[in-house]
Structure 1
Amino acid sequence: MKIAITGGASAGHVVPALAVADELATFGAQLVFIGRGGSIESEYAERAGLPFRAVPAAGLKRHRSWGNLLMPLTVLRGVAAAWRVMRLERPDALFSKGSYVSVPVGMAAWLCKVPIVIHESDRSLGLANRILARLAETVCFSTPPAPTTPRWLSAKAAVTGLPLRSDLTTADPDGLRERLGVTGSARVLLAFCGSSGSQRVNQAVRAQLDALCDQYAVLHVCGKGNLDPSLEGRAGYWQVEYLHEDMNDALHLADTVIGRAGATTLAELEALAIPAVLVPLPTSVSRGDQIENAAAYAERNPGRCIVVADEALTDGKPLVEACERLREAPREADPGTVAHHAREAAGQVARLTLAVARSALVRR
């Protein structure tokens, strides 16, 4: 079997897609990743050793932008390019993890009669998945869909959980501590907001560095192009654009995390039982899914999670206060539970994708 994989724009889409790819490979499937050239998905796929095919794609901006007028043309170009990839690679099925790059790829797969399986991390479908759900054979959800889900969607829904990175249980936090030069007794604060970072969170963390460094050794993953040269060498503070292999080590090393509330981030934090200060994306730049995610997560993890509204960051003091309250929060992750979370959902999605591919072959 050959399975095409698509999804991108952020690590929250790419990391689960690669977790499913790992499971598909264990079943002997050939793989090809389709995404934008020069993107996070191309970089991650290359690091994973997957063949990569580039197609143009553009997302809908949530503010007024001339780019939105050109977006349909880019999508059409993407569909044409993805159609050529489908004819060249001839996959037996497409697995899509979402984001705008998945739309032209999914449309091209449908035109080529390649069956589609999609996965949604949140309780409600994102825009790309709302478009592709009509074309898909199976729609996988991390949690049971809302009661208001249409009947046609419920008929093709499968609750699988959220695929997590396959290396979640094989970390070397002590090695990372040594590489950074963090003293053995220092508690570690990991601040990260995805591969692109967040200017508001970055500014809030840096505005309160003195107060945060009084409590923690601060490892700040600030996003590409967001390093502050004036802070290089500052005692108790380490800044990097982003982490790849070291990200898993950083999660195990962290005593507290400051981050956004993407579904993948929350699943990893919950599996590892890391106390977290969550700053969900506001509705001005999102559909509000992170606000819902953060509220549900805080309810499930009382005493181990504090939610700070993005608009409340101001000078960063709410982050300091939240970190102070979480200093004594328990962290008791069960390695067996972590391993189960890391592999079970990815394996279930992989099996569903292969089953859809086999059914399509039988129909032919």
Structure 2
Amino acid sequence: MRKILFTGGGSAGHVVPNIALIERLLANGDTDVCYIGTNGIEKGIVAQWKIPYYAIDCPKLVRGGGFKGLRQNVRIPFSFLRAYKQAKKGLLSFQPDAVFSKGGYVSLPVVYAAKKLKIPCFAHESDLSPGLANRLSARACEKIFTSFPETAKRFRRGVYSGAPIKQSIFSFSKTAARQRLGIDETKKVLLVFGGGSGSKIINDALRNNLKDFTSKYVVLHVCGKGNLVDSNVKNYRQFEFVTDMGSLYACADVVVARAGAGTVFETLALKKPTLFIPLEGQTRGDQWENAQYFASKGLCKILPQSTIEKFPQAIEETFLDETLTQRLQETSFPPANDFILREIRRAIDK
């Protein structure tokens, strides 16, 4: 039986695509899998799959942060060496045939240790502009799969594959999902969420206009852990956290979300008209680039965070944009799961 070790973490975007591949492998039953990550968000996400998990203490580069950030960055070489040794121990214990990295700072020591042990490594880059971890680990990888065709050209071993997407988001029909949640099929449904931990800006923009929205739509709101509010407003459903978005996506006529690559490709694959509000100021600008790429092709809409006061107007325009809906119906963004796994199997078996 083949063995594949997965790594990636720091945010849900570096974990969920791995889960898309892991759930396919477990369903097939022909591959043993395990995971190396930190004790952070990835550990909780992976836990539900009940696979072996090796936690390592991995340093993260601090961008900015003044003297405190500088002091932490100075310690990185020593912390990285410790993480490298921990990763090597996990690799020797599991003895995988291949390593698959989804990026994030935790992936670097794992990929470097695997390269030293002569274990073939593969990685996936979700964003239009490659992240730091994948740029640094590229030379140690057999192939770097990419969600965007243009991104593949930035790696010597880049291969355009599309994005890994969990099959479970395709599990519900609109009718079945609405029956499950008790929503009238004749109603328009607005789905709003702001990433794994929620978004205060999006939450506030929605709730400040809730009376207007709920007079026209059923609103499904994933607000993030600790962000629930007391509310008995008709046509408003709030959820603190949802592990599987399939039923909510199926209900929705329009989606409002951040523009992490995972969300972008999920909404495109599901052909959902979406208004993206890219995260600003806390990232390298990847969310804006991801959304702008598809907005330029007429496949989504963007509301800059700096103009959040136009939130109600932007949602209304998204509902009314029949051209957007038509373009989405004419495009196809199939999950890359099978392609990526086939390429890894081919490398293992040759």
CA contact (8 A) 2:145 2:158 kept: yes
Deviations 1:176-203 (A, max 9, x none): 4345443443211111122122222222
Counterpart Cα distance in 2 of 1:147 and 1:24: 25
The residue identity in structure 2 corresponding to 1:52 is: Y
Matching residue of 1:113: 118
Counterpart Cα distance in 2 of 1:165 and 1:273: 15
Deviations 1:198-246 (A, max 9, x none): 2222222222222222221111112222223x33x3322222122123x
The residue identity in structure 1 corresponding to 2:285 is: G
Matching residue of 1:328: 320
Q: Percent identity?
A: 35
Shift of 1:333: 9.9
Matching residue of 2:209: 208
CA distance 1:252–1:147, change in 2 (3 Å):
closer
Shift of 1:168: 3.2
What is the Cα-based RMSD across aligned positions, in Å?
A: 2.6
Give 3-state SS (helix, strand or coil) of 1:204's partner. Answer: helix
Shift of 1:8: 2.3
Matching residue of 1:312: 307
Deviations 1:253-286 (A, max 9, x none): 111111111222111111111111111122x211
Select the residue among 325, 330, 334 that pairs with 1:341. 334
CA distance 1:116–1:238, change in 2 (3 Å):
same
Matching residue of 1:80: 85
Task: Work out whether 1:64 is the aligned partner of 2:65.
Answer: yes
The residue identity in structure 2 corresponding to 1:83 is: K
Select the residue among 278, 281, 285 that pairs with 2:279. 281
CA contact (8 A) 1:62 1:286 kept: no
The residue identity in structure 1 corresponding to 2:276 is: L
The residue identity in structure 1 corresponding to 2:32 is: Q
Counterpart Cα distance in 2 of 1:197 and 1:63: 23
CA distance 1:350–1:104, change in 2 (3 Å):
same
Shift of 1:128: 1.1
Give 3-state SS (helix, strand or coil) of 1:168's partner. Answer: helix
CA distance 1:4–1:311, change in 2 (3 Å):
same
The residue identity in structure 1 corresponding to 2:338 is: G
Shift of 1:335: 10
CA contact (8 A) 2:259 2:279 kept: yes
Matching residue of 1:191: 192
CA contact (8 A) 1:93 1:353 kept: yes
CA distance 1:352–1:241, change in 2 (3 Å):
same
CA contact (8 A) 1:5 1:31 kept: yes
Larger mean CA deviation between 168-177 and 3-12 belongs to: 168-177
Matches within 5 A, 1:40-59: 40-59=41-60
Runs of 4+ in 1 over 6 A off after TM superposition: 332-338
Shift of 1:44: 2.7
CA distance 1:146–1:52, change in 2 (3 Å):
closer
Task: Work out whether 1:267 is the aligned partner of 2:258.
Answer: no
Shift of 1:146: 5.1
Select the residue among 243, 247, 265 that pairs with 1:249. 247
Counterpart Cα distance in 2 of 1:308 and 1:276: 10
CA distance 1:63–1:356, change in 2 (3 Å):
same
Give the paired residue count.
342
Shift of 1:334: 9.4
CA contact (8 A) 2:170 2:270 kept: no
Shift of 1:308: 0.8
Larger mean CA deviation between 80-89 and 17-26 belongs to: 17-26
Matches within 5 A, 1:292-311: 292-301=289-298, 305-311=300-306
CA contact (8 A) 2:255 2:272 kept: yes
Deviations 1:69-119 (A, max 9, x none): 335154333222211111111111100111122122222222322221000
CA distance 1:78–1:253, change in 2 (3 Å):
same
CA distance 1:191–1:62, change in 2 (3 Å):
farther
Give 3-state SS (helix, strand or coil) of 2:15's partner. Answer: helix
Task: Work out whether 1:35 is the aligned partner of 2:37.
Answer: yes
Matches within 5 A, 1:117-132: 117-132=122-137
Counterpart Cα distance in 2 of 1:335 and 1:257: 16
CA contact (8 A) 2:152 2:160 kept: no
CA contact (8 A) 2:62 2:70 kept: yes
The residue identity in structure 1 corresponding to 2:85 is: A
Q: TM-score, normalization: structure 1?
A: 0.85
CA contact (8 A) 1:12 1:194 kept: no
Counterpart Cα distance in 1 of 2:330 and 2:265: 15
